[in-house]
Every structure is written in C-alpha cells, then in structure tokens.
Amino acid sequence: MFYRIAADGLVSFHLLFILFVLFGGLLVLKWRRLIWLHLPAATWGVAVEVFHLECPLTRWENLFRQAAGQGGYGEGFIEHYLIPLIYPAGLTPTIQLGLGALVVLLNLMVYLRLFKTRRPKTAL
C-alpha cells in the first residue's frame, strides 16, 4: 500500500513540477527569489524535451508501481498521462521539440518583462 501511495504522490509532484516549469516565471514576477528555483527547473524541462532525456521521476514512479504489484509503463510521464489527453496519436520528436520551444518562449517572455521592469530608468 505504501508503494502505491508513493507512486500516486510522485505523479502529483511530477505534474506540479511540469506546471512550475511552464508557468513558474509568472510566480517569479511576484516573488523574485523563486528565480533560483525556477531557472534550473525550466532548464531541466527544456533539456528533457530537446535531448529526449529520461526523467528520474518517471523511473521512480515505475519502481514504486512495480513494488506495489502494479505494472509500470515504458514511456515517460508526459506520454503516459498528458499526451493521450492532448495528442492521442502519440508523442513524436517534433512535438517534443515544440514543447521545449513552448517552455523557452513562455519563460523568455516572462523573464524579459522581469528584467525590463527591474532595470532602473536613467534620466535624460
């Protein structure tokens, strides 16, 4: 029972992490110190998508599911839980690059705004 709860909790954490990668820059606009958490998280999120890396959270979830007597799954978290909802045909490398580009674009817009509002204006 513990391993099943751990796997389910890890799925929830994984989803929150993905949302933080995508939209954490908006939180940084309000709480500037979050930049030290968000920049590494966003960098990792982009790297996973662009370089097709395996996320360790997916591996741990599968290990917990197997320890609980459940079947794991071969694909990643996004492919298993989110892509069937958004892209029923499956995840392709092109879609992964698009997701990585989306993360970069969203966060680039937020950080450009952050640095633009933070820079002191010089008097003419």
What are the extents of the domains in the chain?
Answer: 2-118
Is 45 in a helix, a strand, or coil? helix
* Residue located via tokens 């640095």: 115
Helices (H), 1-124: 2-30, 35-51, 56-67, 77, 83-86, 93-118
Give pLDDT, residue 88. 47
pLDDT confidence of residue 24: 92
pLDDT for the residue numbered 75: 61
Digit-by-digit pLDDT tens for the chain (124 residues) are 888 888 878 888 888 898 899 889 999 988 999 999 999 999 998 898 788 888 888 888 888 888 888 776 666 665 566 656 544 466 778 887 888 888 889 889 988 988 887 766 565 5
Nearest to 108 by CA among 5, 39, 41: 39
